[in-house]
Amino acid sequence: MDSSIDFHKFSKGETCTTTGCRSRYYYIQDGKRVCKSHGHVQEGFTQVAADEDDFNTEGRKTRKRRKEAAATGIVYDGIEAIKLYAQCWQVVLRKQAMWLISARGMPPELETVIRDLWAVRIRNIRGIGEDERGARDGYGFSSTSEGETEGEDDGVGMEMSRRHRKIAREKGLPKLIESLALCYMAILLLRLPVSVGDLQKWAEQHEIPYFRVIRDIPADMKSHLPPKYYSALETRSSLRRGRLQQCIGELMVNFTTNFNILFPPLNTPLIIFRFVKDLCLPLEIYGSCCHLAEALGIRFQYPKTLSRHKLSEYPELQVAALVVISTKLLQPFDNMIRTPESLKDPSALRVDWDGWSGMAAEGGDATPGQEAKVTEADVFNMSGDMLDRYLDWYNQTWSGERDSKVSQQILDLFPIEDSPNLLGTNQEIAMSVSERLGRVQSRLKVQKPISTNDEQYVATINRPGAFYKRWQRDGDLSENERAFVAKTAENAGTTVDILIRTVYSLEQRLHDIASGEERLEVEH
């Protein structure tokens, strides 16, 4: 037998398949396994030549690639996360613009103006703006200077430099509230008669996309957001009064200082008229507001520099404060008799403030947007209609955004009827302005005038404006005064305390003007 033949040993427990042969070795001949001892050909074995391409493939496992599953699990970081957050923020801004156009009938040009303002705003975001060098030179909000990172070649210095850049990028990121501010700035540029209070109310009543706006972001985008950016888009509380006013002022100062963009004054005649109409006040209040604004030299324009403590610089707060001052002059809330000189006097018609306050309190428990403030204790005091309304709101706000883990057969046992549109329900609850205005006007009382030439005239008679009362805090207000100031503050999108301070500030300026005129008269 040729010595060059390679012999192999059968596997453990195996021998030659021929009966009686117990050979334990074999060799390969012509693709057959042959017994070493007697040359028996083994049955059930045929060797096939191996392909060179399949060399060394034993033990290899082949798995089907799951690109989609792998991609959804990636959470972006660094500049990629910032870019994705900006894209999500842009989706929100566009949805808000489309809502204003479709639901509120604003002109289509509004979307173009909002887009242009957004293009300016992203220049404050490092790594996203068109001119990143310009952002480093002062366009951003970062306080990190160039000298803090130069010459730091060691590991600690490089780490600090990266940290500073990251902080600088995140400081320039827009907050969700700025989307409403950009919408208002675009409305102001188009000179539309829409106030900050309107945007505040729409956000509070969950009409404009703002509350839990993360639901409106496509799933393939929000799945990659880091938790801090995800939570920034998942607003679960109502918009705090006064915050939107402050955000608009700060953003306008930034646009004016860094980009030399000037914003026009308010469309004052229409804004004042809307305040007077919504508050169901006599039309004479409008004329009084215009005269007071002229005396104070108010231009109703956002200044180039704003101080947080100078609340009287906000134009719409000025409008609201002038409405309050004019109402206190012409329609005082106390029961003191102030006799007009003629029927042409602006105060000849007197408002029934008890009836006005009762009308303002109607529907207070069913104010849209209050569902987000409900606590566990409030549930026990809810009526059946209030519970239905709350559950409808919960169904539309929280349910149905994820695939339920509960079997569909179980869910079918508890079907949910199509809940009514909350926007339509809100309109049914809120009394129309024309209806409220009609009720107030029907209760106006005509005051008998007494002129100086009248026989009934006496020198001690009280004229409108006499015994003018000034407030400094909420505790100084009577029940009717508080109801009126609260409604005015709501229409202005601010708080009662802020409005009282603004009113007091303008009253002080009027007092100084009147005192100066009196001194001039005495001197002459």
What's residue 129's pLDDT? 55
Query: Contact, 170 vs 185, CB < 8 A?
Result: no
The long-range contacts involving 367-373, CB below 8 angstroms and separated by at least 24 positions, are: 367/429, 368/204, 368/205, 368/206, 368/422, 368/425, 368/426, 368/429, 368/430, 369/204, 369/205, 369/206, 369/238, 371/397, 372/206, 372/211, 372/236, 372/237, 372/238, 373/238
Amino acid present at 373 = K
pLDDT digits (tens, 9 = 90+) for 144-193: 333 333 444 444 444 445 554 555 455 678 999 999 999 999 999 999 99
The number of CA neighbours under 13 Å toward the Cβ of 252 is: 28
What would the DSSP string read from start to end of 59-98? T-------HHHHHHT----HHHHHHHHHHHHHHHHHHHHH
pLDDT digits (tens, 9 = 90+) for 10-46: 777 677 877 778 787 877 777 778 887 777 777 766 6
Confidence of residue 61 (pLDDT cuts 50, 70, 90): low
pLDDT digits (tens, 9 = 90+) for 466-483: 888 899 898 889 999 999
pLDDT digits (tens, 9 = 90+) for 275-334: 999 999 999 999 999 999 999 999 999 888 876 657 778 999 999 999 999 999 999 988
Closest Cα partner for 205 from 470, 522, 427?
427
Query: Contact, 310 vs 435, CB < 8 A?
Result: no
Name the least confident of 137-146, 351-360, 380-389.
137-146
pLDDT digits (tens, 9 = 90+) for 404-443: 555 556 656 666 665 455 444 444 444 577 788 888 888 8
What's residue 164's pLDDT? 46
What's residue 440's pLDDT? 83
Instruction: At 125, give phi and psi (nearest 5°).
Output: -100, 115
Domain regions of the chain by residue span = 1-46, 73-143+159-264, 270-363+379-397+421-523
What's residue 136's pLDDT? 39
Average pLDDT score, the chain? 78
Query: Contact, 139 vs 168, CB < 8 A?
Result: no
19: left (phi over 0), alpha (psi -120 to 50) or beta: beta
Instruction: At 456, give phi and psi (nearest 5°).
Output: -80, -5
Q: Find all residues with CB under 8 Å of 76, minimum gap 6, and list them.
A: 84, 224, 225, 226
The separation between CA 493 and the C-alpha centre of its own chain, rounded to angstroms, equals: 14
pLDDT digits (tens, 9 = 90+) for 70-119: 445 688 988 889 999 999 999 999 999 999 999 999 999 999 999 999 99
* Rounded-to-integer distance, Cα 84 and Cα 81, Å: 5
What's residue 375's pLDDT? 73
